[in-house]
Structure 1
Amino acid sequence: MLSVRIAPLLPLFLWAVSSVSADTCSEVRDNTDIEVSSPLQLAYIDEQTDYWSASCSALKPSCIIFPRSAAEVAAVLRVLNTNNEKFAVKSGGHSPNNYYASIDGGPLISTQRMDHVLLDPTTGVIDVGPGNRLDEVAKKLHGTGWTFVGGRIGNTGVGGLMLGGGLSYMSAQYGWSASSAISYEVVLANGTIVTASDTSHPDLFVALKGGGNNFGVVTSYKLQAHPQGQIYGGNLIFLRTPDLDAKILRAVRDFTEYNTDDKAAIIVTAERTTVNLVDSWILFLFYDGPESAVPPGTFANFTSLQPLLANTVRTRTYADMMAESNWVVLKGLQVQIGTESVPLPAAVDADEVLVEGIHAHWRNVTDSALLVPGMVASVAYMPFPKRIAQAARERGQDLLDVDPDADRLIVELDYIFLSPTDYSKMEGKMVESYSGIRERVVEWQAEGKLRNVYLPLFMNYGFYRQDYWGRLKAASRQLAREVAERVDPAGLFRTRTGGWKP
């Protein structure tokens, strides 16, 4: 009698057992020609150690799968649909958030072998594979007269940059990096390969511009490149003094409001290390043209500051600047990154908001971490003038949907340290840092010192505990949910990969 009751449940039981025990690595290795690398093999070791943060390298996938095409990605996803294994997809591995492009105990899909950059020299349209890093794309386009709207650090992977939106030195001219997208080749959760564009799956096309890894695996980005010759760029490095803090922060505030040359861009960063062995300001200057084309006075508020320790700003190629930018990537250390968005304060409130408020708060938090071994703390103030929002909107819809109604600053927070045993402590410092900025902004808005404007978080700089989706507009959240449920009804990407989920 008992066997009669169990019999109808036997197929379901056998499916559950096989689903749990199915091994993606073995299935792909034994039944396809797709490259699969196991622990101790050289390809596995090279790829597993190639993350910005050592915390991601500490997570050990069961194998690393290296598809070379959309068809091979589709085959891997079809295998994943037969089991319940967690997995991850990696472009450059620049995100330091654990499990976003890294995995422990499940398969890692590396896009490294999809590293094509195909340029139409007449139209400037490029097909770019997600296995490229930004410095590699710049190198491959070097000498063609065309450039792409990439990020600011060459080590960054194309996939993570584009799916998060992508902020560029050229954003005032062309919007987000994703604003230059013409179409995406996407492998959906069920293995279907589609093209997302303005005319084909248009909702998916919008969702991929700021929606992260929730909708499929993008295997090729068709982008509009832009004409470019030599550029003027590099770093200014200053020894920190208390009065210099105020001068630099006022200068970046004024530049954000008053600069009218879309070809000019700047980032200002403050850097501190363990026991304050280094306490400095490092500025990144960029102009989309040679030094001779820079209008007089464009960067004068910065170049006139003292004490100047080093100046690497010069006329060069974009590829050269992208390659040199990788000095900021310190391998073998733990990395955490977070962000906040701030309405640009009026000149009369600049000291209270930026100098005595946000920057003093950051220094107070980092004061309590100066004994952490190998600690490097940095805060970056990035102008987000309304022109960037305008340029993005001129080129189509995206999930961030920033209104061109106000100038803003994007604040990036980075903590780098030596030992994984300090991870939870430094996580607390990160949360304290961005939460303190947010609390101050809300208070200043209530007091009328800052405008009450829309302040989304920028995904590419977000900490995993931040509420990325909660800070977007309701319409963007709804669009993302609807698209995710339609293209991935079983929730393969929403439940079995890391990242912010709509």
Structure 2
Amino acid sequence: MASKVLLGLLATAGAALAANTCDTVKDTTSIQVNKRFSIDYTNEQQEYWSAACTNALKPSCILFPKSPAEVQAVVSILNTNNETFAVKSGGHNPNNYFASVDGGPLISTKHLNEVIFDKETETVRVGPGNRWEDVAKKLDGTGYSAVGGRIGNVGVGGYLLGGGLSFMSTEYGWAANSVVSYELVLANATMITVTAASHPDIYRALQGSGNAFGIVTAYVLKTYPQGDVWGGHYTFSATDENNKKLLAAVRDFTEYYPDEKAGVILTAETTVGGLLDIWILFVYYNGPEPPAGVFSNFTDVGPLLKDVKTQSYAKLLTGNNWAVLRGSVYTIGTETTPLPSQEHGAEIMGSYLESWRNVSSGVLPVTGLIASVAFQPMPKRLAAKARSMGGDLLDLDDAVDRIIFEYDYSYWIPSDTEKVDRAMQDTYTGLATRVAGFQGEGKLPADAYLPLFMNDGYFRQDYFGRLRPENAALARRVRDELDPQGLWATRTGGFKM
């Protein structure tokens, strides 16, 4: 019966050659279509982290498919015209046009929100319209959890397609390493189920390629036994002495990673006039309490505030939602460094912080601006774990420890975008310049592989150009096979090859 419904939808959609997708979908299918000023349209437009996606970009309509068959029908209709479009999961990606569009249809996966746990296979089937707090809440009480976002409000779809860094990554690798299968709607409106056995090249390419190959309507994920966890955050003042101690702590934590069940994100935050100049350390431990000493390098610095406790994983993720800044224009960029040795650690880590502060100081007068940098440990054991679970497109080796930087600028007034755009470029290129300089001096390994982390990438950054050549070639080969007409490459946003 379902196949007959699908065939009917596709036949009707394929025969329709109306002027635009919105009207064709409305006239020929039962898919929910909402146009500007309707309640559902307005509500969905508010579900972006960046106000630029909300206020500056107005889709001609928002489509809310409720099944894979309806997604196929929409894609079939897109093939009858030349409209630009976008696909949206949680709206976390702040890059304009990646999950947002102006003047074309927006496909919201909001109603593709199933979370079906199978204890026998220890897997969970998850729709891309979920946020990670939704998944965690559904799994709460089962004794299992899925490798996912560190903030509950992050959407499932874009996160998994970008690789997905998790508090659990040193135990289980990138979130993408735990994907068992992808249900993928292709550019020709057909659907395939992708597994490592059935389509090995497509499967690997999907593990860190973004939206380059189609629309994923469901993921099947491995789950792992988990009870209560311990976590929250500490706040420190950004004095010169604390800066040195915290940078040393995150360097040492990365190299000597004390426990694979532990996770941290060390962030520095600053605003104009020094009204805010602090460090925030997000901490996680997969257990009711961490063993003594796991986080002592940080806590010995002396936090101003702490909010850490034993809780369910779902409550931890939801509790981290305070870090989401609503109503601001938001930008994210990234860079990667080999971990400096203890001998050169103070000089190099201090230089990285100085570089960020120098650039940030130039845009702090921008109205409402908050600048932040996150130091995200990428120890060798994470790379080794990812490879042991089958690998992924990023393909980190365990030759060196690394730190991945996330740079964030949020601000209020869109007219300041040009200033902030330049600052973001100066921020990540400034870091790359310093990395290259220390490599030239022999203070960092010169031959280290330093890719970019897609989930933190700025739209101007060359994600695919920083991959290993053989992996970039694999992605291009899969793209050419699955989308020879360039539907995803030319008519929607995302990182391009």
- Range of TM-score over shorter length: over 0.9
Q: Aligned match of 1:148 in 140, 146, 149? A: 146
Question: Pairwise mapping of residues 209-228 of structure 1 onto structure 2 (< 5 A)?
Answer: 209-228=207-226
Percent of aligned positions with the same letter in both sequences? Answer: 53
Distance 1:463 1:101 in 2: 13
Is 1:120 equivalent to 2:118 in the alignment? yes
Q: Deviations over 1:295-325 (max 9, x none)?
A: 211111111112x221111111110010011
Q: Give the counterpart letter for 2:369 in structure 1.
A: M
Equivalent residue for 1:471?
466
Is 1:38 equivalent to 2:32 in the alignment? no
For residue 368 of structure 1, give the secondary structure of its aligned residue in structure 2.
helix
C-alpha contact 2:18 2:24 (8 A) present in aligned 1: no
Equivalent residue for 1:500?
495
Equivalent residue for 2:5?
none
Is 1:174 equivalent to 2:172 in the alignment? yes
Is 1:301 equivalent to 2:297 in the alignment? yes
Question: Pairwise mapping of residues 364-383 of structure 1 onto structure 2 (< 5 A)?
Answer: 364-383=358-377
Q: Deviations over 1:392-443 (max 9, x none)?
A: 1111131101111110001110000010011110111110100000011011
Q: Aligned match of 2:450 in 439, 450, 455? A: 455
Structure 1 position 202, deviation (Å): 1.7
Distance 1:95 1:188 in 2: 22
C-alpha contact 1:67 1:113 (8 A) present in aligned 2: yes
Is 1:418 equivalent to 2:412 in the alignment? yes
Q: Give the counterpart letter for 2:493 in structure 1.
A: G
Segment of structure 1 superposing worse, 389-398 or 414-423: 389-398
Distance 1:20 1:438 in 2: 49
Structure 1 position 454, deviation (Å): 0.2
Equivalent residue for 2:4?
none
**Compared with structure 1, are the counterparts of its residues 24 and 445 closer, same or farther at alpha carbon in structure 2 (3 Å cutoff)?**
same
- Root mean square deviation, CA, Å: 1.2
Q: Give the counterpart letter for 1:402 in structure 2.
A: L
Equivalent residue for 1:60?
58
Structure 1 position 277, deviation (Å): 0.4
Is 1:393 equivalent to 2:391 in the alignment? no
Q: Give the counterpart letter for 1:419 in structure 2.
A: I
Is 1:25 equivalent to 2:29 in the alignment? no
C-alpha contact 2:232 2:308 (8 A) present in aligned 1: yes
Q: Give the counterpart letter for 2:27 in structure 1.
A: D
Distance 1:297 1:393 in 2: 29
Structure 1 position 274, deviation (Å): 2.3
Q: Deviations over 1:98-138 (max 9, x none)?
A: 00000000000000000100001233210000000111111
For residue 78 of structure 1, give the secondary structure of its aligned residue in structure 2.
helix
List structure 1 segments (4+ residues) > 4 angstroms apart after TM superposition: 18-21
Q: Deviations over 1:136-186 (max 9, x none)?
A: 111111111110100211111100110000000100110000000000000
Q: Give the counterpart letter for 1:222 in structure 2.
A: V
Structure 1 position 260, deviation (Å): 3.7
Distance 2:325 2:153 in 1: 11
Is 1:427 equivalent to 2:421 in the alignment? yes
Distance 1:69 1:395 in 2: 30
Structure 1 position 20, deviation (Å): 9.9
Q: Please say which structure displays the higher CA radius of gyration.
A: 1
Equivalent pairs counted in the alignment come to: 481
**Compared with structure 1, are the counterparts of its residues 391 and 31 closer, same or farther at alpha carbon in structure 2 (3 Å cutoff)?**
same
Q: Give the counterpart letter for 1:83 in structure 2.
A: N
C-alpha contact 1:19 1:83 (8 A) present in aligned 2: no
C-alpha contact 1:232 1:290 (8 A) present in aligned 2: yes
Is 1:481 equivalent to 2:479 in the alignment? no
Distance 1:259 1:44 in 2: 46
Is 1:441 equivalent to 2:468 in the alignment? no
Distance 2:449 2:19 in 1: 46
Gaps of 5+ in 1: 1-17
For residue 272 of structure 1, give the secondary structure of its aligned residue in structure 2.
strand
Question: Pairwise mapping of residues 141-290 of structure 1 onto structure 2 (< 5 A)?
Answer: 141-290=139-288
Q: Aligned match of 2:106 in 105, 108, 116? A: 108
Gaps of 5+ in 2: 1-14
C-alpha contact 2:16 2:77 (8 A) present in aligned 1: no
